[in-house]
Amino acid sequence: MTSTLFPIVVVLAGLATVALGLAVWLAVRLHRLERHYRLLTTDAAGGSLEAVLEDHVQRVQEAVRRVQELDTLTMRLERNSRSHLQRVGFLRFNPFRDTGGDQSFALVLADEGGNGVVVSSLHSREVTRVYAKPLVAWQTTYQLTDEEQQAIRRARGEA
């Protein structure tokens, strides 16, 4: 009987060693998981993963709300900025040969759609005259000089 008992003891000892090794491995894994869990739930009020997830969802919802607010604000600012003064064209010139220097000018001030004004100044020895002509979509009902047309092209970015 002792001859058959020895192999059984050896097999049982081997199984016990494997079981002990498995238990140690599982204990190490469990310790790591607990450490990760504690790290995840450190800032949570309730200390549970559920509290962490609820807090995260609330933060994401708040971020989405803020992004929507900023998107609305951006669209409003963009829409409003179209009517602001954005395009400027300026040209100095000398309309009369008997005066020195480029004392006359044509100035275009317009929004993105070309709505604004053309201001011209003609300077001579005796007098300086200033003219203003309205612009609607880069057009006016008034006769434009070559210099005013060139200032409009500059304001449009064409020259």
Summarised one tens digit per residue, pLDDT across range 80-105 is 888 889 999 999 998 877 666 788 99
Do residues 15 and 70 share a domain? Answer: yes
Q: 150 forms bridges with which residues in the sheet?
A: none
Structure tokens at 43: 């800032």
Q: Which of 28, 58, 80 is the last residue of a domain?
A: 80
Domain that holds residue 51: 2-80
Look at residues 35, 60, 80 and tell me which one is the last residue of a structural domain: 80
Shared domain check, 25 and 55:
yes
- In the numeric block, which tokens belong to residue 134? 């309205």
| Composition of the chain by helix, strand, coil, percent to 5 | 50, 20, 30
Question: 53 with 107, same domain?
Answer: no
pLDDT digits (tens, 9 = 90+) for 1-53: 667 888 888 889 999 999 999 999 999 999 999 888 777 777 656 567 777 78
State the Cα torsion 49-50-52-57 to the nearest 10°: 140
**Within its chain, how far is the Cα of 113 from the centroid?**
24
